[in-house]
Structure 1
Amino acid sequence: MLGNFYYSNPTKLYFGEDALQNLEAELQKYGDTVQLIYGGGSIKKSGLYDQIIEILIACGKTIVEDGGVMPNPTIKKVYDGCQKAKENDVDLLLAVGGGSVCDYAKAVSVSTWCEEDPWDKYYLRMEDVDNRIIPVGCVLTMVGTGSEMNGGSVITNHEQKLKIGHVFGDNVFPKFAILNPKLTYTLPKWQMVSGIYDIMNHITEQYFSGDDDNTTDYIAEGLMRSLIHSSRIAVKDPENYEARSNIMWTATWALNTLLDMGKTTDWMVHMIGQSIGAYTDATHGMTLSAVSIPYYRAICPYGLQKFKRFAMNVWDVNPEGKTDEEIADEGLKAMESWMRELGLVMNIRELGVTEDMLPGIVKGTFILDGGYKVLTEDEIMEILKESM
């Protein structure tokens, strides 16, 4: 393990079929007014909305409705949510849904009492929070982002054609999160596999960095193997509780800050994917799957030993009689085969990307330096062309 680091995760998790039974006790820790945040109405169809309302009423809470959170929450929606929170002096933001709903809740949390434009302060200048924060609680219905146990909040600005994530400190982490794997059963296959790849990419973005013997890398390999195994079961049997529970738990540990301890990390697939999302509003996990293989082939020569290890330890590639390059390439081929098996999008044209968008997508991609190769804009353009 290299370097010095600080680790803290204050989120309390309740996991399992009976997890929702703990919501009432958590609600009693906060004031009278709760802003109920949710997406497009799927929680009403499933009956979860009625369950939540019943619990809120039983706890004597005043409910401020804030529905309609879109899959890629916009800054305009954040402004609207902040207005509701401020007008009602909300005591708790209760996010019921997937990662986008949780991300949105955290954005409202830090932005409601911000005296400046929160987009400028938090998403362009990336400043820390120095104002009142409204606590957030989550009831998770879709897995992938890990937003239930981290400080991340990704917001889209359509006018500026930017999609930016700010990873806030542990003071912004949800205070509690309720994870019942059965709540994910109603997801369409498209959303399920998109979430699965988001999980995988969260792990690889942290794994493909550094060249030391790092305990975190062994944990990452175990999580990836578990995810691959469970994903194959879930695609064939979406209501297999064991598989869905393992996927849900892996999603949380993939991005609750554990895996980046002692790591430089490489988030370039996310940077490229988010820029694509700003132009297309495409499903987040699919923007990642569409560019991952071209990106990893591009950087593989610079991190060859880690890609060789990835091939052997995650994909069980037999190294006998093969060069390091051949082993690494076989690992990436195995990963690509698994991705196609799940039904992931493998090119950006399917997401609505056109040739004329490419220069703007390149410009909207934040270039980071934690991986094996710092990309130039020309190299990002080549990766995008390979992804077409």
Structure 2
Amino acid sequence: MLGDFSYCNPTRLYFGENALDNLAGELAEYGEKVLLVYGGGSIKRTGLYDQVVSILKESGKQIFEVPGVMPNPTLEKLYEGCEAARTHNADLILAVGGGSCCDYAKAVSASAWCGEDPWEKYFERGEEVDCRVIPVGCVLTMVGTGSEMNGGAVITNRTEKLKADLEFGESVFPRFTILNPRLTFTLPRYQMVSGIYDIFNHITEQYFSGEDDNTTDYIAEGLMRSLLHSSRIALRDPEDYEARSNIMWTATWALNSLLGQGKSTDWMVHMIGQSVGAYTDATHGMTLSAVSMAYYRFLMAYGLPKFKRFAVNVWDVDPAGKTDEAIAGEGLDRMEAWMEELGVVMNLRELGVTEDMLEGIADGTFLLTGGYKILTREEVITILKASM
């Protein structure tokens, strides 16, 4: 493990088929004014909306709603939520939906009372939260983002064609999250597999950085192997409870900050993918899958020992009689075959990207320094072209 670090995660999780039974007890800890945020209406079709509203009313809460949170929440939508939170003086923001709803709730939590433009404060200047924070709770219906147990929030500025990952501190972490795997059964297959790849990429973003032999990497390998196993079962039977519950639990631990402790992390697939998303509004996990293979094949030469370990420990590649390059390459080949088995998007054209967008996507890609190679803008363009 590298350096000194402090680790704390304040989110309380309720997991299982009866997890929603714990909502009333949590609501008792907060004031009477609840801002309910949700997406396009699927929770009404499934009956979850009625269940949650019933619990809120039985708990004596006043309910104010912000519906229509989109898969890639926009800055304009953030302003709308902030206005609603201030107008009603919300005591709790309850997000019911997928990761985008959780992201949105946290962004509103940190922004409603900040006293200035949140984009300028948190994104342009990178400042910490120093204002009143509205507590957040989540009822999760889609897995993948890990937003239910971290302080991150991805917001899209459509005017500037930028998709920014705002990282807030512990004060903005959800206070509680309800995790019932059965709530994910109604997802279309496209969304299920997109979420599965998002989970996997969250792990690889933290795994492919640093060459020290640390405990965190062993945890990451175990999570990846579990995800591979359960994903194949879920592909055959999307309502296999054990498989979907394992996927949900893996998603939470993939991005609750545990895997980033004591090591550097990369996140360049996310930076490129999020810039693609700002241009296409494509499903997040699919923007990651579309650029992953080109990026990791480019990166392999700079982190060969870890890519070799990945091939052997995650993909069961037999190293006997092979060069390190051949072992690492076979691991990536097996990863690509699994992605194709999932049915995720494998190139940018499927997302509507055209050649004339590549320069702008590269300009919107934030270049991070934690991985094996600090990319240049020209290298980002090379990776984008290889992803077409």
TM-score class normalised by the smaller sequence: over 0.9
- Aligned residue for 2:77? 77
% identical aligned pairs: 73
Q: Which one-letter code corresponds to 2:308 in the other structure?
A: K
Q: Which residue of 1 is the match for residue 190 of structure 2?
A: 190
Q: Secondary structure at the match of 1:328?
A: helix
Question: What does residue 54 of structure 1 align with?
Answer: 54
Which one-letter code corresponds to 1:209 in the other structure? S
* Post-superposition offset of 1:2: 1.1
Number of residue pairs the alignment of both structures matches: 388
Q: Counterpart in 2 of 1:316?
A: 316
What is the TM-score with the length of structure 1 in the denominator?
Answer: 1.00
Matched residue SS, 1:349:
helix
1:207 partner letter? Y
Once structures 1 and 2 are overlaid, which stretch shifts more, 141-150 or 119-128?
Answer: 119-128
Aligned to 1:339: 339
Give, in whole Å, the separation in 1 of the partners of 2:211 and 2:287: 28
CA shift, 1:28, in A, is 0.5
What residue number does 1:42 align with? 42
What residue number does 1:224 align with?
Answer: 224
Secondary structure of the corresponding residue to residue 7 of structure 2 = coil
What amino acid sits opposite 2:186 in the alignment?
T
Cα distance in 1 between the residues matched to 2:97 and 2:235 = 21
Q: How far off its partner does 1:237 sit?
A: 0.3
Give how far 1:96 is off: 0.3
What secondary structure sits across from 2:301 in the alignment?
Answer: helix
Shift of 1:133: 0.4
Q: In structure 2, the residue corresponding to 1:250 is in which secondary structure? A: helix
2:241 maps to amino acid: Y
Q: Alpha-carbon deviation of 1:236?
A: 1.2
* Per-residue deviation, residues 89-140 of structure 1 (Å, max 9, x unmatched): 0000000001000000001001100111001111222210010000000000
* Partner of residue 212, structure 2: 212
> Helix, strand or coil for the counterpart of 1:70?
coil
Query: Which amino acid letter does the alignment assign opposite residue 299 of structure 1?
Result: L
Aligned twin of 1:101: 101
Name segments (4+ residues, structure 1) moved above 3 Å. none
Please tell me the residue identity of whatever aligns with 1:4: D
* 1:285 aligned residue: 285
1:305 aligned residue: 305
SS of structure 2 residue aligned to 1:252: helix
In 2: Cα distance, 1:4 partner to 1:363 partner: 34
Q: Is the aligned partner of 1:149 residue 2:144?
A: no
Matching residue of 1:33 = 33
Give yes or no for the alignment of 1:20 onto 2:20.
yes
Which amino acid counterpart does residue 208 of structure 1 have in structure 2? Answer: F
Residue-by-residue CA offset, 1:25-64 (whole Å, 9 max, x unaligned): 0001000100011000000000000000100000010000
Letter in 2 for 1:157: N
Deviation at 1:8, TM superposition (A): 0.3
Aligned pairs (5 A) from 1:230-249: 230-249=230-249
SS in structure 2 opposite 1:242?
Answer: helix
SS at match of 1:282: coil
RMSD, matched Cα: 0.4
Long gaps (5+) in structure 1: none
Q: Could you say which residue in structure 1 is the equivalent of 2:115?
A: 115
Task: Tell me whether 1:354 sits opposite 2:354 in the alignment.
Answer: yes
State the distance in 2 between where 1:240 and 1:69 align.
29
Q: Report how far residue 235 of structure 1 moved.
A: 1.1
2:165 is aligned to: 165
Structure 1, residues 184-224: CA drift from partner, whole Å, max 9, x if none? Answer: 00000000000000000000000001111100000000000
Q: Distance in 1 between matches of 2:94 and 2:125?
A: 27
Q: Distance in 2 between matches of 1:250 and 1:319?
A: 28
Instruction: Please give the TM-score of this superposition, normalised by the length of structure 2.
Output: 1.00
